[in-house]
Each structure stands twice: as structure tokens, then as C-alpha cells.
Amino acid sequence: MTANYSEDSIRTLDWREHIRKRPGMYIGKLGDGSSQDDGIYVLVKEVMDNSVDEFMMGFGKQIDVTVVDGEVSIRDYGRGIPLGKLVDAASKMNTGAKYDSKVFKKSVGLNGVGIKAVNALSSRFLIQSYREKKVKIAEFSEGNLVREEEIQPADEPDGLLVTFTPDPEMFGNYHYLSEYIETMLRNYVYLNAGLIIRFNGQKFQSKNGLLDLLEENLSVEGLYPPIHLKNHDIEVAFTHGNQYGEEYYSFVNGQHTTQGGTHLAAFREALVKTIREFYKKDFEPADIRASIIAAMSIKIEEPVFESQTKTKLGSKDMAPGGTSVRNYITDFLKNHLDNYLHKHPETADMILKKIHESEKERKAISGIQKLARERAKKANLHNKKLRDCRIHYNTSDNRRLESTLFITEGDSASGSITKARNVETQAVFSLKGKPLNTYGLSKKIVYENEEFNLLQAALNIEDGLENLRYNNVVIATDADVDGMHIRLLLITFFLQFFPDLIKQGHLYILQTPLFRIRNKDKSLYCYNESEKREALAKLGQNAEITRFKGLGEISPDEFSNFIGKDMRLEPVRLKKGDMYAELLKFYMGKNTPERQDFIIDNLRVEEDTIEAGVI
């Protein structure tokens, strides 16, 4: 039966209804907090952007951030919102001061949307503005005004205090991970010299800008001291290492553009052009940029981003001086980098040596690469390894952040996931047996080994993450010794050849239940012993207990429960101080006796713990 399309079919949603019905347009994906691009972090960022904009305009040097039990509180010491317009600024779309470039030049919040999205998606949203010893307070729930107080005297410094709790109805059983918030806050101070941010009592401040950011993210020492170039509207810092791939941290007006955009493309292009002209050699771009780790920040008026989440810059014009972004960055690097290399010949020599090494390696595997690409293309045509999805991360689709590739082992596991998956956003790559231990091997092995070559091709990361096809790369293996070993081998592969996939938060481990507890009325799925005990307490000790030994034992109908909206993903994270080169050497190297002693010693600790009744 065809639905009746009439005047009654046409609806006009108010601002809060639209945000809650289409949250992806405003904050990307919802998520539960396990991924750094989940919506609950975007809510924090939207409020922080406004406070940082105040600092950038010269008002307020400190921002206090508190996150406790899912409630976020952000206090700045800027000018505060004009008291008579507080409710409008918090609850009327397209309302704000960012449209006036004289008041907010080169800010990141431009559309009057961000704080309204936070309001609409919070079960409680309290906003307090302090100006000239007066305060105005308004409280909302799901975007609805529930309390508005008259303007009152207040003995508080000027500024804004926003307290909100993300709505569990929208985000489910969410949780904030402190390291994700810390990364966000560190980026703010790297880009704003003099800004102090206090997070749950911890102080963040940067004296050296992007140099500090590089120091934070270098897992091994660079081949030469980082080159640091800056003027009022642009800052660049970079060095080369020995890792594979290219690693970039790009920013526009303080916004971390995780997907890059016109400014990053211009930087990569300008770097190649400047290096070629300096050495008077027509080097391949890939050889110049191989193993680079770079950070760049630019300030422009009225930036155009490709979505409200502002992860990719679309602007081509409006760089300082009215020139194009491309020309501005090219001119800057041509002058400043060329001068730097002339003044620092030792650095210039190291860069030249690195280019020659990259060129030599590239030529050594060029023939293998060509054959490997042909193999990957044929395999893809015959769909032997990859069961693809329709929506990918490197598109502009609203659901691109949900794009996921499950890496499985064996036909039974991949078959269950394939039948249960969402074909719009979830793809499956099937491994054949245990992958090779790649520690200490050259990138040549990526092309010679069929499994890794096809996996690289499926992810589309041969030339870096710019064209990554899936936002979430999920290792889905059995929760047994073999599954753990496969998991470790895959993580080794990514750390060895594509560490930025992990550093940028794209790699996860799929958590699947170990037990199913059921009686005649209900089934409960348990991911650990604690959940198992709770389930038995609810359903009775006589309930049937099933232990899942492998993913293939879970039926497709059941599997759909575990890879849907309640999917549990454990992020694979690299934190400051994680020297992964040393970790790989110890756990995956050829130091078998030393590692064996370590395992035995730690097994004894585990046994003692069990005997003591701790677990």
C-alpha cells in the first residue's frame, strides 16, 4: 500500500526537535565515549570553542573545566554573554555575535549553532553569564527552558559558566575518557600561547606552541630538531622520523581539522615545491614527505567547513590579505623554510639524506607494489576477502563517521558478522589463518604478503590516511588464546607500518559476550564474570549458561545485538610516554628467553591473586 503524500505529510520541526531527530548534522555520530569523535566530546568542544574565542579576542586568560560522573562544567573569564540576550543565545538558532567579524575575527564558531546543539542534546543545561557584577541564569532540559532567573547582583569575575549533562536518551550508557578530553585541551593551549586551562585540577599551558605538540606526539626522537616557523596568522612545525607514512596535525582558527582540507593539501604541496627548489632536484613528493610528522595552524576569516563538526576545511579564499589559502601557505613556506634551510645546513643535509633513503626504498619495492596493486584489484573484483559497505569515511555522507571495517579470522566468524551487519555502514574483511609477525620487517612485506597487501588496499592507506575508507577499523577475533594472538599480530602490523591509524583513534577491539544466561522468559549476555554473576542473580541459579568459545558460535541473529547501537568497542590508544618501538621490540622481537621469564613471573602474580580471592 502506497503512503498518502498530502499537506498533512509536511512538518516543520522547531530547532530542538530538529537537532534531536538529526543529531548527526550537528555533532557527527552519537557514540558512547569510546571513540574520540563521539558526540559527547563534540559537546565539550562546542562550549570550549566559545570560551577560546573569547581568549583569542583578548578577554580571559584561564578556562576551568570539570568532568565528574558525566556532568561537564566549563567556566571562562571572558566578557560573558550580554545578559538580556542570554536565553536567545542559548536557545535560538542563528543567534550570536560571530556574524559580526569586528567582534569575533578569525573565530571557529560562525553559525550560531554549537551551543544550541549542546542545549538540545543535554538532559540538563545550565548557563550563567557574569557581566559588570551582575549575573543572569537560565536552565534548560532537552532544549526546553525550565528556569529563568531575573538579573541579580553577583560578586564574580566576568565570564560564562556552562554546566551540562549529555542526555542518556540520546547517548545511552556513555562515559567520558579523560585522555580524550586532555588531548582536546592540550591542542587548545598549543595553539593559544598564554592560555591556561585547568581540567579537574590539572593545569595545561604551552610556551612553545606547535613544538610542544610535536614533542607530545613523537614516539621516537626526530632525525633533526623540529623546524618551527610562524607569523601572526600561520604556524608550522615539522621533522622527519623513521616511521612509515605521513602524520599531520592541522588546525584552522584553533579547530583541529582531523580530516585536513584545503590548508593541509596546500601545506603538503608547498613543502614539496620548496624542497625541490632548494635542492634543485625534482624529487618525488612521496620521498620528500615520507616519515614526516608535522603540525600546522592557520587563522582565516569566515572559514568554510564541510560540516558543522568542522573536521575538514573547504575554504579556498579568505586567507590573510584576501589571497587564496593555497597561495598564502605556498608563499609563507617558500620564504621562511628556504631561509631556514640556508641558515641550518646541518638540517638541510639530514633532510636530503632522508629523501635519498626513502627514494632508495621506494625503487626497491616499486615492481612489487605494481604487482601487489594488480592482485588487490583482482581480489576486490572477485570479492574474495572484502564484503564492502555503501558509505565510506572518505565521502561527505552524513553517516561517514559510522563507517566500520570488521577484521575477522575464519569463514564462520566472518559469515556471522556478514549476515548480521548493517550493509550501509559496516564492511567485513576476512583473514585466512594467523597473520605474519611483521616486527622488524621492511614495508616490502606489506606488498609481498597477500593478507596485508589486500588489507592495506581495503583500507586505502598506502599513501597515508587522507583517503582512509573506514572511520572505525575493528579487530573482531575470538576471546581465546588464538584470538588474542591474532589481535596482537594485527596491532603490531599497524604500529609498524601505519601508526597514525592508531594515533588518530581509528583502531578498536570488538568486545563480544562470553556468556549467554537465559531462562524461559529472558536472555542476558555477559562480557565478564562479574556480569555473569549479576545475570544469575536476576534470572536464578538454574538458568541455562552458554559459554561462547568463538565468534562463529554466535548466530547472526544474536550477533546483530552486538554490532548495533549497543556495540562495545575498546579503543586501541597510544598515550604520552607510550614508547611503542620499545614495546614492540620486547613483546614481538627475538628476545624469547627474556620474554619467557617475564611471562612466567607475571603468571605467578596472577596465581597469587586468584588464591587470595581477589578475582
Secondary structure of 472-528 in HEC code, one letter for each residue: EEEECCCCCHHHHHHHHHHHHHHHHHCHHHHHCCCEEEEECCCEEEECCCCEEEECC
393 and 462 assigned to the same domain = yes
pLDDT band at 576 (very low <50, low <70, confident <90, very high): low
Considering the domain boundaries, does residue 1 fall inside one?
no
* 136-150, 311-325, 331-345: range with lowest mean pLDDT: 311-325
Q: Name the residue among 319, 68, 309 with its Cα closest to residue 176.
A: 68
For 541-582, give the DSSP string.
TTSEEEE--SGGGS-HHHHTTTSSTT-EEEE----TT--HHH
Q: Determine contact, residues 40/171, Cβ cutoff 8 Å.
A: yes
pLDDT at 216 over 50: yes
Residues 190 and 261 in one domain: no
Q: How confident is the model at residue 611, as a pLDDT?
A: 39
Cα separation, 16 vs 481, whole angstroms: 49
Beta strand ranges found along 51-188 (DSSP E): 62-68, 71-76, 122-131, 134-141, 144-148, 152-153, 159-166
In this structure, the answer to whether residues 493 and 523 fall within a common structural domain is no
31 CB-contact burial (10 Å; exposed 0-12 / middle 13-18 / buried 19+): buried
CATH number of 263's domain = 3.30.230.10
Q: Tell me the CATH number at 564.
A: 3.40.50.670
Do 165 and 126 fall into the same domain? yes
> Could you tell me if residue 598 is inside a domain?
no
User: In this structure, are 314 and 411 located in the same domain?
Assistant: no
Tell me the Cα Rg of the chain: 26
Residue 589 lies in a domain: no
Q: Is residue 601 part of a domain?
A: no
User: Does residue 175 surpass a pLDDT of 50?
Assistant: yes
Residues 389 and 340 in one domain: no
Looking at the domain assignment, is residue 9 inside a domain? no
Number of domains the chain contains: 4
Residue with more model confidence, 255 or 402 = 402
487 and 507 inside one domain: yes
pLDDT at residue 238 above 60? yes
The answer to whether residue 55 is domain-embedded is: yes
The secondary structure of residue 225, as a DSSP letter, is P
185 in the same domain as 44: yes
Please name which of 174, 175, 164, 111 lies closest in space to residue 141, comparing C-alpha atoms.
164
Spatial strand order of the sheet with 386-387 comes to 386-387, 426-431, 404-409, 472-475, 507-511, 568-571
Lowest mean pLDDT among 103-112, 182-191, 206-215, 532-541: 103-112
| Gap between the Cα atoms of 564 and 30, Å rounded | 13
Same domain, 324 and 410: no
Is pTM beyond 0.85? Reply is: no
Pair (179, 304) in one structural domain: no
Select from 154, 174, 204 the last residue of a domain.
Answer: 204
Asked if the model's pLDDT at residue 614 lies above 60, the reply is no
Is residue 6 included in any domain, yes or no?
Answer: no
φ/ψ (deg, to 5) at 161 = -125, 120
Q: Tell whether 8 is covered by a domain.
A: no
CA pseudo-torsion sign 97, 101, 105, 107:
positive
Please enumerate in sequence order all residues whose Cβ is within 8 A of that of 533, keeping only pairs 6 or more positions apart, or say none: none
Average of pLDDT values for 405-413? 86
Question: Per-residue confidence at 602, pLDDT binned at 50, 70, 90?
Answer: confident
Domain of 543, in residue numbers: 515-547
Q: What φ, ψ does residue 215 adopt, rounded to 5°?
A: -60, -40
Clarify whether residues 478 and 533 are in a common domain: no
Assess whether pLDDT exceeds 90 at residue 363. no
Q: Are residues 190 and 243 located together in one domain of the fold?
A: no
User: Residue 11 has what pLDDT?
Assistant: 58
CA end-to-end span of the chain, whole Å? 58
3-state SS, residue 354:
helix
Q: What is the mean pLDDT of residues 418-430?
A: 94
